[in-house]
Amino acid sequence: MLKRCFDILSSAFGLVLLSPLLLAIAGWIKLDSAGPVFFRQERVGRFGRTFLIHKFRTMTVNAEAKGPQITIGKDRRVTRAGHFLRKTKLDELPQLIDVLYGRMSIVGPRPEVPRYIAFYPEEVRTKVLSVRPGVTDWASIQFKDENDILARSNSPEDAYVQEILPIKQRYYVEYVANNSFLGDLGIIVATLGAIMKR
């Protein structure tokens, strides 16, 4: 109950407080490239229910039809505005909408696309999907430069599935087993620190 109350209050407050920035980013995206302001993608949420996550669009229209679902290094599909938004994580801000509506939490395991959820062992999948997915978590902080890591691999998708995804799953399982309100606050502070350093 405390976690959900915090999510509602922080997401509502964040959307109001950041509304000038959100509008400025939306205008920049529209001026920078053709297409909608938001990018919506199917993700797997709590109890395996799918939902459409909100992000600011950082890639060209129909980018998923032109390449893999993961972004690799200096991906040519990423727009000029998109490079900055991704680097600063500002593209994630619209997920406050998903938090407000109860599809996500501020802190929790990052929601994956169905394709990669299929690689989770059944026991891990059950545990991870027992909580709402989050905007941030320890895995997000650990792999803040994930795109650059994948760019150094000869087979980025295999590297993601075989090397990165298992580590993320361990972070997720540990979070589910030990999550607390104070722990969430620690993750939020660490996330803000990581963003500021960038």
Q: How confident is the model at residue 152, as a pLDDT?
A: 81
CB 66 within 8 A of CB 89: no
- Check residue 147 and give its pLDDT: 78
Write down the pLDDT at residue 167: 95
Neighbours of 84 (CB within 10 A): 16
Sketch the domain layout of the chain as residue ranges: 2-197
Which ranges of the chain have pLDDT less than 70? 65-66, 69-70, 72-73, 198
pLDDT at 195: 84
pLDDT tens digits, one per residue of 118-172: 999 999 999 999 999 999 999 999 988 787 778 788 888 888 999 999 999 999 9
pLDDT the model gives residue 138: 96
Say if residue 196 is exposed, middle or buried (CB neighbours under 10 Å; 0-12, 13-18, 19+).
exposed
pLDDT at position 90: 95
CA-nearest of 25, 101, 34 to 61 is 34
Question: pTM for the full model?
Answer: 0.90
pLDDT for 9: 97
Q: What is the predicted pLDDT for the residue at 6?
A: 97
